Structure 1
């Protein structure tokens, strides 16, 4: 009768739990259950470190491991022999749980109890140990609890049933010897679905720090599993996808399908707008991780993204300039008080003012010219120039068509340097704006002076249409002019 009930219970466990939660050993009367404790929202683990508390919120804890063996007289007379192990609970806490499991068997009056044990460990462990909201990590390695610790006391109290208990003790001893072999890796009975623990054993961390690392790693892995099996709506195409086909921006939590976010990132990188590689949600400036960008756009575009991002960062640094040698052009960090910069790549030493070979501490020609212009300009008027383009053009027309006396008056009023330099800059920018367009990929200014409307950027070599600035492929550039209103010439 007991043998039949044991078999029925083990078959039921196999049908209820996955292979990651339950493994039946080759011995028909033993196995291992891995029980994931249910955590309330906002649950945290706390680590005491250097007179301070480090607290991390988590959603998953590593499972409790319940190894059990079923004596011949289970469930009618004897409880299962078992060991309970968990790296985030102390031995005393495990012993309290183990004693309660034994009490649960006694309360059944001889019924099967393994499923009830699992339910208790999953739903009531935290409340039973008064760990409802915060878990303080122990600073000493945890040791497993096994039911042998209480059997010796039971043997002395139950002399009248010496034969039955001796038989049960022999079964327990045999079971735990097998379990020790499984832990050491010497036996062949270990289930292949359960991985070996201790990935942080090579790090120089104390037990509590190593435990926190294991918990955070497990929490991230379980969170990813849940994400991949959940259905999400893409915020771009509004279609529903499994999480395994989506990407979540960690900083903001927005979710997009891989195809939409990949196309969005590729477009920004091709256009040279690396600062635009952000969350695709409107008005959201959260950034995807470097690993996410690389997996979305591929190796070639990611190298361009990485290079442009580095270049933008260097351009924003006031103490960074570039080697003037065209064959090098490497970034160089210069000292603020020094007039010389040394390229660490090609070894070229150059003047930070004129970008020529370093000529010593004497003032270089650009400095002397600047000083003379400043002196000359200081001796003349300093009236404010017009602020608008139209005003500058009117001033230039007045100067160009005026008499010598009128020109002298304008120079004395505005200063020679301010007048001519500002006019030249203004008119040059106006001409550039009227006679050139931006490359749609790198935004370099392009002038078209002859030929057809198929343009090739001299900087990034991208082909595009001069009329509508559409990006063209080298293989199908002519099709653009056949299927649109743009003319080839």
Structure 2
């Protein structure tokens, strides 16, 4: 084996030890191979499409350097190579190819493949005067390549094209299908970001221990990172207790929420079903135009018109009155309204009557019915006297202490307890510009 062959073998063995199988593939039948070079991008790198769309990317598909080493390389001849890329123009690839040839000449007969890779990875964009903005080639359905003589090959991605250039015939079929489309660029960028995240160590915001990204979850809304164990335990606790509105970022003062897919992976199928059901229930409860079918065997959500008291359940087809929750009775006043005075008189008679009078009423209407009705009336009376409706979701709210600036625990709406006005960001101004008092209410 002569000196050139020994240097070639040493160079290829070094490449096999430095790069993994996705980056370098050697052709064992000859001194040849393929190297995929991922170009380093500066921060806030923008890719502009011809339609005017722009995306900030951290990774671009790699350049493919296919090479074959002649017998007199490196002493006398440079490698024969093909440079292929989907997001550079013919002119840009020709310039890079010429620079690779110049780099070989500058080495004075030394091995050059590693220098080529370093140049393409670290200096290619700067050499092409591309800094923070890349405008994609206009032909979005082709993969461009140049050979070592500087001839530009255009590989069309159409099945009936018979004009493939011979210099690019050794490019693998997978590279021929690579197109400069926004879909493939975004997919590649997302895949590489996930790989980089999985191999990076992060401090969990709950247990403050270092974890590989593969064992962590990053919330997309806020970017906060937690280990899977801590975030899973946090979410499971909130869902088990039915406090699904608290399934948020554990970071203090952060209201971001994990995606449904993240919640499902963290808590499992069974708890996620409960979470999904309670989240839907909570959302419906916050909607002023939603009531529930009063049938105990149904209970489905029903959307009602604000101008009507009629509702029709789409599941069991039960038509009912929104006010009294009984069978719809047209424009006639609700039965509960008509008999309320008589019922209250009867219950007052029962409550204030002697034992003999109570026994008489119980024998006439039933003991359990009288006692249960009395309890219901007292409960409703207490609720009416001690609670108000939220002006946003109409949920009953009790105020047992504190000032008149209230926050609904159901929908989160801030409002004034005195006049039930909704309060915005500048809520304190309401209590200075209106007759409402912040701390007292008559």
Structure 1-normalised TM-score?
0.63
Q: Is the 8 A contact 2:82 2:167 kept in 1?
A: no
2:233 and 2:166 mapped to 1: Cα distance?
Answer: 61
Partners in 2 of 1:151 and 1:277 — Cα distance?
59
Instruction: Render the CA deviation track for 1:362-382: whole Å, top value 9, x for unaligned.
Output: 444346679x99xxxxxxxxx
Whether the aligned pair in 2 keeps the contact of 1:274 and 1:308 (CA below 8 Å) is: yes
Distance 1:14 1:307, change over 3 A: same
Unaligned runs of 5+ in 2: 153-164, 343-351, 353-377, 388-397, 399-408, 410-442
Taking the aligned partners of 1:137 and 1:369, their CA distance within structure 2 comes to 77
Aligned to 2:201: 231
CA distance in 2, matches of 1:290, 1:134: 35
Is 1:335 equivalent to 2:337 in the alignment?
Answer: no
Q: How far off is 1:144 after superposition?
A: 2.7
Partner of 2:38: 36
Mapped partners of 1:7, 1:355: distance in 2: 87
- Among 24, 27, 35, the alignment partner of 2:26 is 24
Greater shift, 302-311 or 109-118, is seen at 109-118
Is 1:290 the counterpart of 2:248? The answer is no
Deviation at 1:263, TM superposition (A): 0.8
**Secondary structure, counterpart of 2:53 in structure 1:** strand
Aligned Cα root-mean-square deviation (Å): 3.0
1:119 maps to: 118
1:255-404 superposed matches below 5 A: 255-366=225-336
What residue in structure 2 maps to residue 480 of structure 1? none
Partner of 1:167: none
Contact 2:145-2:168 within 8 A present in 1 as well: no
For residues 214-248 of structure 1, give each alpha carbon's deviation from its aligned partner in whole angstroms, at most 9, with x where no partner exists: 12212221111122211222221222222221212
- For the residues of structure 1 that align with 2:175 and 2:319, how far apart are their CA atoms? 57
Q: Is the 8 A contact 2:85 2:145 kept in 1?
A: no
Rounded to whole Å, the distance in 2 between the matches of 1:48 and 1:269 is 47
SS at match of 1:219: helix
Distance 2:255 2:319 in 1: 41
Separation of aligned partners in 2, 1:148 and 1:235: 52
Task: Write the mapping of 1:58-457 to structure 2, written as runs, cut at 5 A.
Answer: 58-140=57-139, 141-147=141-147, 150=150, 176-177=168-169, 179=170, 182-183=172-173, 211-366=181-336, 424-425=382-383
Aligned residue pairs, count: 340
Secondary structure of 1:98's partner? helix
Contact kept in structure 1, 2:90 and 2:146, CA below 8 Å:
no
How far the C-alpha of 1:308 sits from its partner, in A, is 0.4
Q: Give the structure with the higher percent helix.
A: 1
Post-superposition offset of 1:294: 0.8
- Residues 91 and 143, structure 1, Cα contact 8 Å, conserved in 2: no
Q: Deviations over 1:397-448 (max 9, x none)?
A: xxx9xxxxxxxxxxxxxxxxxxx9996437888xxx9xxxxxxxxx9xxxxx
Check conservation: 1:86, 1:142, Cα contact below 8 A: no
Deviating above 6 A after TM superposition, structure 1's stretches of 4 or more consecutive aligned residues are 420-423, 426-429
